Structure 1
Amino acid sequence: MARNAPTLLNAALQRTQFHDGRVSFLEDQAATVLANPTEMHGSMAAAARLLTRSPAYRAAFARAFAAAPAAPVQEAQLKAALAAYLRSLVRLNSPLDQYLRGDTTALGPAAQRGANVFLGKAKCATCHFLPLFNGTVPPGFERSENEVLGTLAAPNRLRLDADPGRAGATGIQWQQHAFKTPTLRNIALTAPYMHQGTYRTLAEVVEFYDQGGGAGRGLTVPNQTLPPDPLHLTPREKQDLIIFLHSLTDTTGLRRETPRSLPAFPTKLAHLNQRPVSGRY
């Protein structure tokens, strides 16, 4: 995989999908992943045909889409079903959300200090807009911003990552190395970080920003949108900032009991009945 897979949580609240923002709708996002030779190496049409061979899946899709019981699963139905599931993964009940709704015990002193660093000295909120903490621009939330950070190819290698980013999708030269500003919600659970997983810890990410990104480290990044000036965060400010980022964690509903079984396939496709139930986000 050329890029680090982003979280699916709150994907419905993003204006564009993928690190380069090349699609706008979750239906298209699902289809693109299925067709990508480095990911699923298939197609939505092929998946629909496979599901049609399962009477149980045919019946489930017929109920969901008010179709005839024996009707084949349609590609559009599969896209809609996958997108509907992704839209169910909205999580907005983190300790910070509880604090903002009036529970003053939900955020400790260090997290409160970290919030001030986030909104003030560290300037994080100039790109990670509240309340979604991603690049979806308020108040209309109709577009997502892309930023050039000068991300390194490796943590200890002073070389710019070669991924063209947004420019690879648009062909626009000044968008070289630009990537969609991702959500910071549940960031404590979604390591590694950056579009290609350069950093393994939040401490490394904070250090990268504190030094002014790639340009701040001495790389030539003429279109870097992140200010190259160092932030001069103190050790305590860095630690408080990380504690605040942990306060954006919300795993509500992700620990529910898994289904006891999945819709079955016929004997000729019996190997598919061995697929695991549940997963991790």
Structure 2
Amino acid sequence: RTFADIGRRMLDTLMLKQQRISSSDSVLGPVSGARRPTYRELIKNAFQPRLWNATQQVSLGGAPYTQMEANFPLFFGLAIQLYESTLISDQAPLDAYLQGDHTAMNGQQVQGMNLFLGKGKCVSCHGGAELTNAGSRLLFHPRERIERMVMADNLTTLYDNGFYNTGVRPTSEDLALGGTDAWGNPLSFTREYNTLLQGGQIPDPLEVDVCTFEVPLSPAIPCDATLKPKVGFRDSVDGAFKTPTLRNIALTGPYFHNGSRATLQQVMEFYNRGGDRRGEDASNTSGFEHPAVNQHNGSNLDPDMTQLNLTPDEVDALVKFMEVGLTDPRVAWERAPFDHPSLVLPQGEKGDENSVGQKPASPKITTRQAQDADIQLRPVGAEGRTRLEGPLLPFNNDL
């Protein structure tokens, strides 16, 4: 189904028809007890008529749709984007501490913060207010989307700012940023830049300021902004993953792109030993032979992936800083604006390892389907979770 098909099905459906809404919901409270509007009504109230009131049909894939159905992905995407922009988590103990309240974190957490900024090297990738180098800052400084640095094998390379190979698993298992989209275009800005330097066409507008590079193209001062890297330069995007924010990190396990760590303690043990790559600095499992893009790298490992020599007490301090110091209590307690309607989450099927329950037969479905085992999340209003319920707990508490 296309998004237009989903729009056709949903437009005249009542909003959140199968979900309950708290009467004190910070956004949806006014419609919690009354007749709820349809998605068609919501779109008409929120978007300019020129986006939905055309009388002629729109052809998509040879099939006719109304303008509102055809623009449904636009409405869907913008609505989610604008809602998510209200979910600003900026009231963690760290925020209060940095604003002058030195009682907001205890001594162990402050020690963890100092290790985060120093010996632990965490801030090298988790920088800025969002605690990620891949934060929205790059939207306002698009010429810094590409960076240049000396890698763990002491060779200089270009890469996408905020995306790093930390040796979680061999790059051969997942190229990550080194892959391509459905049309064969590189996922990486760095590789698009290489194509641009060779005179090719790229799908994304791209402008690079070589004078912002950590490792300059030339030692001359002032920097010569007209310089360009050599065509076919080395990159380090194979196996590189986006650096996540660490805000509320205690509540977002399991960790790493493959979910291989259940606790922040395990995460810090991973970094303390310098990651899990196998081999020498110049030739290890973070490297990848990628002739299609003329990359023949024995290593793509981030240069900060070295043994940290943290003591057990220092590891504990870093963990406590992340668990407590970076958790916004409004998120943990689901208080406004982090409250929500009820939600049904399927978690496997009803039954056991030998057999599962089946849904009743339906004339619309010729194959029998297993019955979903559902988790019901209750609606939470602006006041958040009750004291009896307690705050949200880390992922590993359910193991």
The TM-score, its normalising length taken from structure 1, stands at 0.68
RMSD between aligned alpha carbons?
A: 3.2
1:216-255 alignment runs, 5 A limit: 219-221=284-286, 222-246=299-323, 247-252=325-330, 254-255=334-335
- What is the TM-score of this pair, normalised by structure 2? 0.49
Counterpart of 1:46 in 2: which secondary structure? helix
Higher relative contact order (CA 8 A, sep 6+): 1
Residue 46 (structure 2) pairs with residue 64 (structure 1): yes
**TM-aligned CA deviation for residue 182 of structure 1:** 0.9
Equivalences, count: 220
Please state how far the C-alpha of 1:62 moved relative to its aligned partner.
1.2
| Matched-pair contact (CA < 8 Å) for 1:135–1:145 | yes
Q: Using the TM superposition, give the Cα deviation of residue 82 of structure 1 relative to its aligned residue in structure 2, in angstroms.
A: 1.6
Give the direction of change, closer, same or farther, for the CA distance of 1:164–1:240 in structure 2 (3 Å limit).
same
Corresponding residue of 2:81: 83
Within-5 A mapping of 1:39-118: 42-54=1-13, 56-67=38-49, 72=68, 74-75=71-72, 76-118=74-116
Among candidates 263, 269, 272, match of residue 201 of structure 1 = 263
Q: 2:276 aligns with which of 214, 223, 245?
A: 214
**Which residues in structure 2 correspond to 1:261-280 (within 5 Å)?**
none
Amino acid at match of 2:99: R
Q: Is the 8 A contact 1:114 1:242 kept in 2?
A: yes
Residue in structure 1 matching 2:248, options 186, 189, 199: 186
Q: Residues 243 and 260 (structure 1 numbering): CA distance in 2 closer, same or farther, change over 3 Å?
A: closer
Change (3 A) 1:98 1:43: farther
Amino acid at match of 1:220: T
Q: Structure 2: how far apart are the matches of 1:103 and 1:43?
A: 51
Shift of 1:278: 5.1
Moved more, 81-90 or 164-173: 164-173
Residue number in structure 2 paired with 1:13 = none
Higher helix share goes to which structure? Answer: 1
Aligned mates of 1:146, 1:200 — CA distance in 2 = 22
Structure 1 spans left out of the alignment, 5+ residues: 1-41, 153-158, 262-274
CA distance in 2, matches of 1:260, 1:177: 38
Partner residue, 1:168: 179
Q: Which has the higher strand share?
A: 2
Cα shift at 1:45: 2.1
Q: 2: CA distance between counterparts of 1:62 and 1:277?
A: 30
Verify the 8 A CA contact 1:216 1:228 in the aligned structure 2.
no
1:150 maps to 2:167: yes
Q: 1: CA distance between counterparts of 2:308 and 2:342? A: 51
**CA 1:125–1:260: 2 relative to 1, 3 Å:** closer
Looking at structure 1, the residues matched to 342 and 40 of structure 2 have their Cα atoms a distance apart, in angstroms, of: 19
Tell me the secondary structure at the aligned position of residue 276 of structure 2.
Answer: helix
